[in-house]
Amino acid sequence: MKAPISRYPLPDLADLPDDMRDRMLAVQEKAGFLPNVFVALAHRRDEWRAFFAYHDALMEREGGLSKAEREMIVVAVSADNDCHYCVIAHGAILRIRAKNPRIADQVAINYRKADITPKQKAMLDFALKVSRDSRSIGDTDFGKLRAHGFSDEEIWDIAGITALFGMSNRMANFLSMRPNDEFYVMGRELE
Amino acid sequence: MKAPISRYPLPDLADLPDDMRDRMLAVQEKAGFLPNVFVALAHRRDEWRAFFAYHDALMEREGGLSKAEREMIVVAVSADNDCHYCVIAHGAILRIRAKNPRIADQVAINYRKADITPKQKAMLDFALKVSRDSRSIGDTDFGKLRAHGFSDEEIWDIAGITALFGMSNRMANFLSMRPNDEFYVMGRELE
Amino acid sequence: MKAPISRYPLPDLADLPDDMRDRMLAVQEKAGFLPNVFVALAHRRDEWRAFFAYHDALMEREGGLSKAEREMIVVAVSADNDCHYCVIAHGAILRIRAKNPRIADQVAINYRKADITPKQKAMLDFALKVSRDSRSIGDTDFGKLRAHGFSDEEIWDIAGITALFGMSNRMANFLSMRPNDEFYVMGRELE
Amino acid sequence: MKAPISRYPLPDLADLPDDMRDRMLAVQEKAGFLPNVFVALAHRRDEWRAFFAYHDALMEREGGLSKAEREMIVVAVSADNDCHYCVIAHGAILRIRAKNPRIADQVAINYRKADITPKQKAMLDFALKVSRDSRSIGDTDFGKLRAHGFSDEEIWDIAGITALFGMSNRMANFLSMRPNDEFYVMGRELE
Amino acid sequence: MKAPISRYPLPDLADLPDDMRDRMLAVQEKAGFLPNVFVALAHRRDEWRAFFAYHDALMEREGGLSKAEREMIVVAVSADNDCHYCVIAHGAILRIRAKNPRIADQVAINYRKADITPKQKAMLDFALKVSRDSRSIGDTDFGKLRAHGFSDEEIWDIAGITALFGMSNRMANFLSMRPNDEFYVMGRELE
Amino acid sequence: MKAPISRYPLPDLADLPDDMRDRMLAVQEKAGFLPNVFVALAHRRDEWRAFFAYHDALMEREGGLSKAEREMIVVAVSADNDCHYCVIAHGAILRIRAKNPRIADQVAINYRKADITPKQKAMLDFALKVSRDSRSIGDTDFGKLRAHGFSDEEIWDIAGITALFGMSNRMANFLSMRPNDEFYVMGRELE
């Protein structure tokens, strides 16, 4: 009774252009398995390239928010959008980045009660406002974040990651994308 | 930066009446640790007794829904109420009851995409309607459940478990009740 | 065209165990009639016992909120959940406890405009937050209530009564429980 | 601790033009008291005239919905808008028009469970849709009402009464308009 | 594929009473065309008279808010209610009254980002609260408006216009009223 | 009182890398002006490149939905997100693509009442569901679209465009991005 990886056909890796296959093989080598998002989105090659370019631009940008904080944003936003793939996959990455086996579940269920700093809660409050109510964002929101010490470039990162994963959540929900079984247990024994 | 178990004072087990302490020791012996809900709610003894009596009446009733299905209802409703304690603790119990290491995360994030049967999805659709919109429940809802083979006593169980954990979720959120660390990893290696 | 008392079968008082029947007869003697909730919930005996034990623990606890204030919470929460039985039955009790023939309708329709004190409005603001958005309860909410003079035990009472009647409202809506005709007019001529 | 009749100044009847004072005296003679809405809205004379002209055009139109059904719409819509004045005042009129002491509370709390006909429930379903989601009204809604036997003119009445009292509810809430004490008890002893 | 002007029959101008036809001819002469709302609502003559009397009492009252500000309220509220007729028709009037070709689209899409003053944004914040959540209006709302310099009579105007067009929006949505093509382009070349 | 183009600094075209400047100049030559989105997003170069690559992959894909239909999706989704820049800019493009001066306002205000085909309304119903409630998308939604004749690749396009502009709307709202004045009037005189 296990659901398929995606509603749409999955390409054969052998048929993909070199740039796409090379990245997939590199990811697979590093992670030990190939995350399903790489295969499911490859049904559309140009969209696949743009998506991962966007992802890298925000998630691997030099400086600013820590890697763990970026994943917190992904997990909080994806949980609010009820995105099965993104919460499971990025929850695993968050546990590893934060070296904390419980943080992903805490952020996904209710970040207000998670073991994170007040500054990180302010970051997630803003991310959720971008996700649910971007129409109302104004100077007051920027003021709150600056009071916590966020730079304007970091604020852009929070908004950008939220907006990007809002897109990703909608696509994964649309495709009923299934997370790899490996993600469920990664990083749970870190202590 | 770990949050306390509850906003309110925790009683000393030694000060509790025998019936309460006996149950706690029995649970502790069986589980290997004492779930925080037993301690946090013991701040009010009569409420504690009524709560666990209600819990047992619904969760351990003979016949009807399977133990795993009852826990599915708890997890789905608690996730909808963003209840940290209940999702983590009952997620663990669900993994064990269902002998499935991934089911709790799936049901918590989006039961519509979980690896469960159509009958179980209808059960959770109804539970969520009781939780969010009980004012609109009518004959049509009963008809759908009966078409899936649920008896009227099982339908009562779905509603009762949903209502009971709606109460429990509100109390746990009010107390900022913290789940025991043990729950996060229980049942994740079942396969 | 009068609806039945409950969707489920009603037990015969003669068939009930002594503890249940004794309580029902006592209530009937005091009130002059037997409120339907006692009969409708008696379809499940252990749940019945737990429910009324929980009710008494919160509604008849010594000290703290006045009896009228407890009923205000019940009426405001039940009205927000559109629970026919609970608004009518506890509206009657509120009129009697508060010795005020208009207060129940006022609290049920819009407690913000009711003839109650600012402290009582703060109490109901908090009750409604527990009912609708318990996920967001935090230190700020406790601060507001303490500023109005509520003790921590009284705050627990507000949350507990709200959570209990959230459960009760869902069960009464699920059962389409019908209030006794007597409740509609009780306490309306107090002045 | 009784709230004033309105946030705005109340005119002296002696200062009002004849047409307004004559109507008020006629209403007072018939009802035995002058409903506060006549005084509170008289702060703006032309709006007062237009409001009551609109009211009469819809509520006293010949033919179509019964007088009791029109009041059911007013009570259901006003309750959904949490309008203190309108629920209390028109609840009283509904009890009298329907010769039923319980119907107003039932319709106000949850019309889906009220002792009314399926046709009347369809009427109130539509009224609530006009009130909350008029943007989505389409052929399907007209089809449902026609299937229950409503004529197109009656459907206009349902929409018109809903729209008019949507305006009235907003004004009464804005003014914190207080219902006369008499309304609370009118029509409660009809049986 | 152009939709009809209204779901209901349109009267022939020749059949209408003099007062209605005279007003229509006067409007037609001034605007160069007859706005569809005059024809569509004329299916019910007494409601038509009350509607336009109400409209004139608020929109043409001496003193207080500027004509452009009154139209801003109409456009913001009508956009929030997704009312096709009212946004298009009153958007045109707003462009003309404000002598600004872009203001109507800005106010309709998101008044918080429109090129209007902070005082006007406060006015529209209040209008939207009257429209969506009149139950919660209280002293704080009046305080904010007075701090911006609004008189109590102007505050009444904001609420009254909002309430009136809430009614009008519901009727226009119910009728699927079609705006005249002329409105789409009026006032777009003002600069 | 005209708002700035963006909350963040705008790069000087002379400082941008060739690929970015070349595209901007090409767009400017074709449109007669440079849409502000190109300048505002250029504050982050890699994100800019990924964004426009994604845009082109979906909006200029060979085959499938017509260009006008793609813009309808953008306008309907952007209006639901209250995105000032996107509704104004893509409204202009929609008018031109559809050769219809009124369609953009109609789709933005309430696509259910717009002069479009039932198939196009089904397309927008689905887009709005992806935007607001992607968690619930299932076989039933695909069935409805296929019944209207949409291919699976077209369905992907609807979802993809919706998800992409959901991201774009959040960024434009976050930046308070201002549309160029030219967009307001483009395509309004097509008939």
E82 chain-F contacts, CB cut-off 8 A = 109-110
Whole-number percent of chain A with pLDDT over 70: 98
**Do B127 and B73 touch, CB atoms closer than 8 A?**
yes
Q: Chain C residue with minimal CA distance to E136?
A: C112
pLDDT of C1 above 90: no
Distance CA F91, CA F72 (A): 8
Q: With touching defined as 3+ CB pairs under 8 A, do chains F and A touch?
A: yes
AA identity, residue F178: R
Task: Give the residue carrying structure tokens 């009896």.
Answer: C67
The answer, for D112 touching chain B at a CB cutoff of 8 Å, is: yes
Query: For F15, which DSSP code?
Result: G
Tokens of D7: 């946030």
Tokens of A114: 């998670």
- Positive or negative torsion for Cα A101, A106, A111, A116: negative
**Do C102 and C92 touch, CB atoms closer than 8 A?**
no
Cβ-defined contact of C110 to D189 (cutoff 8 Å): no
Task: Give the residue carrying structure tokens 């009124």.
Answer: F102
Distance CA C94, CA F85 (A): 53
**Do A133 and A89 touch, CB atoms closer than 8 A?**
no
Q: How does pLDDT run along chain E (191 residues), one tens digit per residue?
A: 688 999 999 999 999 999 999 999 999 999 999 999 999 999 999 999 999 999 999 999 998 999 999 999 999 999 999 999 999 999 999 999 999 999 999 999 999 999 999 999 999 999 999 999 999 999 999 999 999 999 999 999 999 999 999 999 999 999 999 999 999 999 998 66
C23-45 b/e (C-beta count within 10 Å ≥ 16 → b): bbeebeeeeeebbbbbbbbbbbe
From B16's Cα to the closest Cα of chain A, the distance in A is 29
Q: What's the distance, CA A21 to chain centroid?
A: 22
* pLDDT band at residue D27 under the 50/70/90 scheme: very high
Q: What is the DSSP annotation of chain E?
A: -PPPS-SSPPPPGGGS-HHHHHHHHHHHHHHSS--HHHHHHTTSHHHHHHHHHHHHHHHS-SSSS-HHHHHHHHHHHHHHTT-HHHHHHHHHHHHHHHT-SSHHHHHHHHGGGSSS-HHHHHHHHHHHHHHHHGGG--HHHHHHHHHTT--HHHHHHHHHHHHHHHHHHHHHHHHTPPPPHHHHHTTTT--
Closest CA to A98 of A79, A82, A81, A74: A74
Distance CA F102, CA A28 (A): 51
pLDDT of C152 above 70: yes
Distance CA B112, CA B109 (A): 9
The answer, for F110 touching chain D at a CB cutoff of 8 Å, is: yes
Torsions phi, psi of D42, nearest 5? -70, -5
Q: What's the distance, CA E84 to chain centroid?
A: 11
E174 chain-F contacts, CB cut-off 8 A = none
Distance CA F132, CA A114 (A): 26
Q: pLDDT tens across A94-124, in order?
A: 999 999 999 999 999 999 999 999 999 999 9
* pLDDT band at residue D1 under the 50/70/90 scheme: low
Residue by residue, what is the 3-state secondary structure of A90-158? HHHHHHHHHCCCCHHHHHHHHHHHCCCCHHHHHHHHHHHHHHHHHHHCCHHHHHHHHHCCCCHHHHHHH
F105 chain-E contacts, CB cut-off 8 A = 87-88, 184
pLDDT at D191: 63
E169 chain-D contacts, CB cut-off 8 A = 134
pLDDT of D61 above 90: yes
- How far is CA B110 from each of CA A79, A81, D134, F163, rounded to the nearest angstrom? 9, 9, 31, 19
Distance CA E172, CA E38 (A): 12
Closest CA to C102 of B175, D84, A47, E140: D84
Closest CA to A33 of A55, A5, A54, A8: A5
Query: For B11, which DSSP code?
Result: P
pLDDT at E190: 65
The answer, for D129 touching chain C at a CB cutoff of 8 Å, is: no
E104 chain-F contacts, CB cut-off 8 A = none
Give CA angle at D48 (E176, D75), nearest 5°: 60
The answer, for C99 touching chain E at a CB cutoff of 8 Å, is: no
The answer, for F172 touching chain E at a CB cutoff of 8 Å, is: no
From B191's Cα to the closest Cα of chain C, the distance in A is 33
pLDDT at D190: 65
F110 chain-D contacts, CB cut-off 8 A = 135
pLDDT at E1: 64
Distance CA F83, CA A66 (A): 30
pLDDT at A189: 83
The answer, for C156 touching chain B at a CB cutoff of 8 Å, is: yes
Tokens of B50: 């009524």
Q: What is the DSSP annotation of C77-139?
A: HHHHTT-HHHHHHHHHHHHHHHT-SSHHHHHHHHGGGSSS-HHHHHHHHHHHHHHHHGGG--H
Q: pLDDT tens across D79-131, in order?
A: 999 999 999 999 999 999 999 999 999 999 999 999 999 999 999 999 999 99
- How far is CA F12 from each of CA A30, B176, F43, F177, F191, rounded to the nearest angstrom? 40, 51, 10, 17, 39
The answer, for B139 touching chain C at a CB cutoff of 8 Å, is: no
**Do D116 and D72 touch, CB atoms closer than 8 A?**
yes
Residue by residue, what is the 3-state secondary structure of B63-123? CCCCHHHHHHHHHHHHHHCCCHHHHHHHHHHHHHHHCCCCHHHHHHHHHHHCCCCHHHHHH
Residues whose CB falls within 8 Å of the CB of residue C21, separated by 6 or more in sequence, listed in order: C13, C14
The answer, for C188 touching chain D at a CB cutoff of 8 Å, is: yes
A110 chain-C contacts, CB cut-off 8 A = 135
Q: pLDDT tens across E62-105, in order?
A: 989 999 999 999 999 999 999 999 999 999 999 999 999 999 99
Tokens of C167: 């459960």
Task: Give the residue carrying structure tokens 């065209």.
Answer: C1
E2 chain-F contacts, CB cut-off 8 A = 115
* pLDDT band at residue A129 under the 50/70/90 scheme: very high
Residues of chain B with pLDDT under 50: none
Q: pLDDT tens across F76-126, in order?
A: 999 999 999 999 999 999 999 999 999 999 999 999 999 999 999 999 999
Cβ-defined contact of A113 to B181 (cutoff 8 Å): no
Chain C, chain D: beta-carbon pairs less than 8 Å apart: 66
pLDDT of A22 above 90: yes
The answer, for F66 touching chain D at a CB cutoff of 8 Å, is: no
* pLDDT band at residue D65 under the 50/70/90 scheme: very high
pLDDT at D38: 98
Task: Give the residue carrying structure tokens 């995350």.
Answer: A35
pLDDT at E3: 86
From B139's Cα to the closest Cα of chain D, the distance in A is 11
- Interface confidence (ipTM) of the complex: 0.97
Closest CA to A124 of A151, A164, A172, A159: A159
**Do C162 and B170 touch, CB atoms closer than 8 A?**
yes
Q: Chain A residue with minimal CA distance to B177?
A: A113
Q: How does pLDDT run along chain F (191 residues), one tens digit per residue?
A: 688 999 999 999 999 999 999 999 999 999 999 999 999 999 999 999 999 999 999 999 998 999 999 999 999 999 999 999 999 999 999 999 999 999 999 999 999 999 999 999 999 999 999 999 999 999 999 999 999 999 999 999 999 999 999 999 999 999 999 999 999 999 998 66
The answer, for C109 touching chain D at a CB cutoff of 8 Å, is: yes
E136 chain-C contacts, CB cut-off 8 A = 112
Comparing CB atoms, the residue among C44, C57, C169 nearest residue B47 is: C57
Query: What is the rounded end-to-end Cα distance, in angstroms, of chain E?
Result: 34
Q: Which chains touch F (3 or more CB pairs under 8 A)?
A: A, B, D, E
Distance CA C71, CA C186 (A): 15
pLDDT of C190 above 80: no
Other residues' Cβ atoms within 10 Å of the Cβ of residue C19: 11
**Do E76 and E67 touch, CB atoms closer than 8 A?**
no
Task: Give the residue carrying structure tokens 């007019």.
Answer: C185
Q: pLDDT tens across C31-50, in order?
A: 999 999 999 999 999 999 99
Which of helix, strand or coil describes residue A163?
Answer: helix
Mean predicted confidence (pLDDT) in C94-114: 97
- How far is CA C167 from each of CA B72, B163, C40, C160, F114, rounded to the nearest angstrom? 18, 5, 15, 11, 44
The answer, for E135 touching chain C at a CB cutoff of 8 Å, is: yes
pLDDT at C3: 86
Helix (H) or strand (E) holding C33: none
Closest CA to E91 of E81, E112, E110, E76: E76
AA identity, residue B83: C
Distance CA D177, CA D90 (A): 14
Distance CA B144, CA B140 (A): 6
Q: pLDDT tens across D118-174, in order?
A: 999 999 999 999 999 999 999 999 999 999 999 999 999 999 999 999 999 999 999
**Do F51 and F19 touch, CB atoms closer than 8 A?**
no
Q: Chain C residue with minimal CA distance to B139?
A: C7
Q: With touching defined as 3+ CB pairs under 8 A, do chains D and A touch?
A: no
Cβ-defined contact of B102 to A184 (cutoff 8 Å): yes
